[in-house]
Amino acid sequence: MKINIDKFCVPPGKKVNLKHWPTRVKPFYDSEEEYPELLEHHVRKLSDLQEQLYADTRYAVLLIFQAMDAAGKDSAIKHVMSGINPQGCEVFSFKQPSAEELAHDFLWRAVCRLPERGHIGIFNRSYYEEVLVVRVHPEILRAQLLPPEDLEDKNIWKHRFQSMVDYERHLHRNGTRVVKFFLHISKEEQKRRFLRRIDEPAKNWKFSQADIRERARWKEYTRAYEECLPATSTEEAPWHIIPSDDKLNARLIISAAILRVLKSLKLGTLEPNQQRRSDLLKIRKMLVKE
């Protein structure tokens, strides 16, 4: 199975019409039996590379997940990262900001959660909500304590895109690789998943009234994503649009994209150099003599 990740990358600055980006593509697995083997293969490779990343302590990787409700962010994170050593990985889910968070600029709370060198950080939602939910709901923007000249600035969204691009560039220059995923589902598939969440009592907890309110704004969200994705997809921090009507296929694509980034890093090998080896052998001799 070879997945061409470039096919799912948003070219910087090129117009995005989400209708032309598929929510389903031909599966990369031949059968439901084959899928776990393929995912397991990716998970094992991810686990090995994470160990190298951790030992290397120079790079960090930040994975950003954005999507409409029920697109499968949580389960993609759970399955794709299942082989990762929890000591080198942090997941953070961004909800409505607190009063303390609102008292700072909009990137502040995310900066506090960035992964340290050697770690993988996962943002389940992110500062991108600032040009998505905040754009779709002007009342949220009005509650953000911004000075009036910024609040009334017609270019506020463009400026926010620029802040994000600039900040991600800064992170890249300092060793953090940022990889962004938009899990793209169709409105019909979301309806099917909501119905399942209502019909199956064990899944009721996953459903909230807010999900229906946001679904009613589907068009506005689509427009907001269509502007955000090309404006903030860069060579250093690309957006991937993941066809997510088929969750299994989505996980294979996401894991392949993460592998590609990890493989691109100039990580030191886990093998020690000669000096280190001979130092260790000296210590060994002393230990044996004790």
Binding site for ligand ATP (CB under 6 A): 69, 74, 93-97, 124-125, 129-130, 133-134, 140, 208, 210
Binding flag, residue 214, Mg ion (CB under 5 A) = no
Both tokens assigned to 2? 């070879």
Amino acid at 118: G
Provide, rounded to whole angstroms, the least separation between the CB of residue 78 and Mg ion. 16
Cβ proximity to ligand ATP: between 130 and 168 the closer is 130
Note the Cα 212 to chain centre separation in Å. 24
Q: Quick one: what does residue 34 bind among ligand ATP, Mg ion, none, with the CB cut-off 5 to 8 Å set by partner type?
A: none
How far is the C-alpha of 96 from the C-alpha of 33, rounded, in Å? 40
Q: Token pair 């980006």 is at which residue?
A: 21
Q: Kindly determine how many residues on this chain lie close enough to bind Mg ion according to the rule CB under 5 A.
A: 1
Cβ proximity to ligand ATP: between 53 and 71 the closer is 71
Cβ proximity to ligand ATP: between 41 and 213 the closer is 213
Provide, rounded to whole angstroms, the least separation between the CB of residue 180 and ligand ATP. 15
Q: Token pair 């962004």 is at which residue?
A: 180
219-241: b (≥16 Cβ within 10 Å) or e? eebbebbbbbbbbbbbeebbbbb
Q: From 86, 115, 112, 92, select the one nearest 101 (Cα to Cα).
A: 112
Q: Quick one: what does residue 94 bind among Mg ion, ligand ATP, none, with the CB cut-off 5 to 8 Å set by partner type?
A: ligand ATP
Cβ proximity to ligand ATP: between 85 and 93 the closer is 93
Provide, rounded to whole angstroms, the least separation between the CB of residue 99 and Mg ion. 21
Provide, rounded to whole angstroms, the least separation between the CB of residue 24 and Mg ion. 22
Provide, rounded to whole angstroms, the least separation between the CB of residue 289 and ligand ATP. 58
Among the listed residues 8, 69, 254, 257, the single contact to Mg ion using CB under 5 A: 69
Query: Alpha carbon of 107 to those of 127, 172, 223: distances in Å?
Result: 6, 16, 22
Site for Mg ion, residues 270 to 289, rule: CB under 5 A:
none
Q: Quick one: what does residue 75 bind among Mg ion, ligand ATP, none, with the CB cut-off 5 to 8 Å set by partner type?
A: none
Cβ proximity to ligand ATP: between 85 and 208 the closer is 208
Q: Quick one: what does residue 130 bind among Mg ion, ligand ATP, none, with the CB cut-off 5 to 8 Å set by partner type?
A: ligand ATP
Centre a 10 Å sphere on the Cβ of residue 252 and count the other Cβ atoms it contains.
Answer: 23
Please name the helix (run of DSSP H) or strand (run of DSSP E) that holds residue 178, with its range, or none.
Answer: strand 176-184
Provide, rounded to whole angstroms, the least separation between the CB of residue 94 and ligand ATP. 5
Provide, rounded to whole angstroms, the least separation between the CB of residue 194 and ligand ATP. 11
Q: Which residues are 121's β-sheet partners?
A: 62, 90
Mind giving me the DSSP string for 214-263? Answer: HHTTHHHHHHHHHHHHHHH--SSS-EEEEE-SSHHHHHHHHHHHHHHHHH
Interacting residue ranges for Mg ion, rule: CB under 5 A: 69
